[in-house]
Every structure is written in structure tokens, then in C-alpha cells.
Structure 1
Amino acid sequence: MKYIALSLCLFAAPVMAQEQFDCVMDPAELVQIGSPVAGLLARVNVSRGQWVQAGDVIAELTSEFEMTTIELLEVQASSHAALDAQRAGLALIEGRYARTQELMDRGVATQDAMAEVEAELVTAQSLVVQAELEQEIARRELERARAALAQRVIHSPIDGLVFEKRMTSGEYLTSDGYVASLVQLDPLHVEAFLPVELFADVAEGQVVTIRPSAPIGGEYQGTITVRDRVFDAASGTFGVRVELPNPDGALPAGHRCFLELE
């Protein structure tokens, strides 16, 4: 009777069930660093395995032509000679117009003389507007040239690790090519497939345990950020993604793991 009572107590005790599922730890981003313009690589500043931060210069294209263009446009944009000359001419015509108007009021100047000065005034005003427009165009051309020069400097869009260095200085980079590949390792994205029976028990924002396979080991806490709404009918599963913090980069990407649900 003592053994029967003990068995009943064991069956009555609550049990916290834990389930483990295969998963893979992937990098959050895999970026192939290219350029919006083609050109000859003057410098490539990274090597495989190097850590970079967002904004770091990955590579630079040759830019002597663009720099010379900028110097020329800076001279044009900063020159006020043409505009000053047209404004001075307008001031003279405005003075003549005022004097002619005064003579007209006194009955000394003729209507034809007044019409001639008015025509000269309109022409002078138009020339000033044209000179202002040309200087504004020169400023805009300078801005465009500086933007074109900036495109020849390739920056890292993410904090990450250089996974592959594809090109080096002296090689020609095409518009559809890339210099290097970067991977973002913080956070990691853990991908797993769970049985559809667990769909109602899994939610975005839920904390789960990730156990990397040997030789890494250990256990880490991650948060479910994606729960697929489309099932795989053939396997009877649905996908989930877990965001796993990896601030020091200790956990490698591309490694197998186990996802544990409670």
C-alpha cells in the first residue's frame, strides 16, 4: 500500500514539460558591399576577419576627374563678377529711368524717349535674373559633383565582420559587382521549424532558450520575433525566428543548435 500511495503522489505532481527542436544560428545580415558607380579601385581598406563599424570606409574608387571637376565648379560658383556687372548696369538704367520720368513730368522729355528707357530697364532686369540663375545653376552643379565624388567612397552600412574580401586595389569594380561581404553577428537570427500543433502556444515576444551544439555549448535566452503564418503542409511544421543577442560576437553564425520551449 505504501508503494501504491507513493506512485499516486508522483502521478499527481505537476511536471514542467520541456521540448527541444533543431535550429540554426544565422547572421542577422549578410551584405555584399558594392558601389552605385563603376570604376577602378584605388584602395580596399579591409581584410577577411576584420571587424568594421557602420560608416567605416571599405574602399575608394579613383576620383581624380571628379575632384578636378569640383575645383572648376567651385571657381564658377564663387565668382560674382557677371552678376555684379549686370546689377551695376541695372542701377545705371534705373537712374536714367528716374531722370527721364522727372523730365517727362516737366514736359521736357518725349514719350518716345521714355519708352526707350523703359525697354532698356526691362532688358537690364532680365539680364540680372539670368545672371542670378546661372550662379544658382553653378552652385547646384557643384553639389551634384560633390555627390558624385561621395559615391566613389564605399562605406560599411552595418557593424559587422568581413566575411569575404572579393576584390583588391587596382581591380575594376562593375556596377553589379561587390568588393567584400559583411556579416552582422549581433544579434543572431535563430531559425527553427516547429510542429503545427504548437502554433497556438508560440507567440512573438516569447522568450526561449537556445543551446548551441558542441563544441560551443551553453544556454542563451532569445526572443521570438517572427512566427510564420504559412504552414509547410508536407512536413506539418511552421517556421519561427528567434533574435539572440550576441554583443561580444562569441557565438558563431552558421552553427546548429537546439531551441527549447517550456
Structure 2
Amino acid sequence: MRYFDIGVNLSSEQFAKDRADVVSRARLAGVDNMLLIGSNIQDSQQAIVLANEFSLIASAGIHPHDAKTAEDDYCQIIQNLTEQNTVVAAIGECGLDYNRDFSPRDKQREVFAAQVALANKLNKPLYMHQRDAHHDFLAIVKEAQVPGVVHCFTDSEEALEAYLELGFYIGITGWLCDERRGDTLRKLLPRIPLDKLLFETDAPYLLPRNIKPKPKSRRSEPLHIEYVAKQAAELYQRPLEEVANAAFYNAHKLFGLELA
């Protein structure tokens, strides 16, 4: 089985002591590639360094939580990072988060809209985040002229249908494996066409709850993506290989990568 984890926070301090081992374990588990998430300028730069070190890909952008601290020339900096580093495969993580409101909502919208425009300019896919902000998010992404993925989708049927109508891919994490919080997502999953499905761990977060025995560290790793895929295959009532291969192909298509 071959997997592509489209969401890994490898720059997290939780991986500071064993990043190389994390990547090695993932590859032994069949994870052929990963996208390392950049959530602000510094984090994007670190993701790029790690992507080059481990022959992976990265995103470059500003998360809504960090919108309030975005420098005046952030779009130019992101553009420079993208043009100077072939490993940058997407613009983001960008979007809106009205759940925590770590940045003022008007600033979130401004920074998100600017990154959508930048992705259009650079012809790069969008790597997007949305929490409790569907209608404002939708108004902005309707301006997108490039493909993208709604990362770590956990929203409503209305939101899912709107994003699929726009042609976006849907990123599914270990949230799917959470019997406490994931009921809505589990019911909606079969509505996601296989040609729009992507898998991600969002490691070190969202440890799948169907892992037995659970890791002592309680830290999610890219190697755990198989548990997300297994849960999805059960809900689709399709063979694991079919579901995993679809997501693997979709990731290559979205990020413009050749299948080996």
C-alpha cells in the first residue's frame, strides 16, 4: 500500500528530537511522500528546509491564527519562497478560523484573500483551513482560479457540497476515527467522490483513536495515516487498496507531481 500524507507539521517542537526517525518510520509504513505545512513565514521557511532535507514537498503561507502578525510584504516573501524553492507545492496553510479568533476576523479575511490572489498569480494550488467561517470563506474562495484542498475537513453537508461544487479536494484526518467528535464526518464521508479524497494526519495532532494499542506518546505520526485510510475504506464499503490508491493519485494530481 502506498500513501501520501498531505498534512504534516514536521517543524513542530514535538518532532524536534526525532524528525529523521519519524520520516523513516513513515516510509517503512508505505508513506511515499508528505506535504510539510507552513503556517507563517518562519514556519514555511523551516518546512522548506525540511522538505529539501528529506526529499518531500512543502507549503508556504500564513495561517489565519497568524494573520495579525503578517508583515506588510508577506505576499512578496511567499512569492519569493515559492519561486526560489521547487519543493513548494502549494500556497497556505491559509483560510479563516472563527472558532478561536486568534486574529481579528477582518484581518483574517484580508490575508486569506491576498493569498488566494497570489495562488492565482503563481498558478499554485491552495492549502486551506476553515473553522466556523464557512460563508465568509466561501465568498473568498469563489475567486480562486486554481485547484485546492480544504485541509482537515470537519464541517457540514452544506459546506462539503459547496467545496465539491468548486472542484476542491477534501482532506480527511484522524478526526474520522474519533467516535466522540467525528460522527458528522463519518456520515458525510461517502458523499466525497473518490477522485476528490485526500488523506492526512496533521501530525503531531489528531492521533487516530482506532490505533490499538495507542502510542505511549499520544503523538500522531505520518505512519498512522493507514488508520485513517482503513476507517475511510470501511465507511465507503470499498477495498482499502482502492481507496488508498485513489487518494495517492489525487495528491499527485493536485500538487503537479509525477507518479513514480
Tell me which interval the TM-score lies in, with the shorter structure as reference length.
under 0.3
If the length of structure 2 is used for normalisation, what is the TM-score?
Answer: 0.19
- Greater RCO (Cα-Cα under 8 Å, separation 6 or more): 1
Higher strand content, 1 or 2: 1
If the length of structure 1 is used for normalisation, what is the TM-score?
Answer: 0.18
Higher helix content, 1 or 2: 2
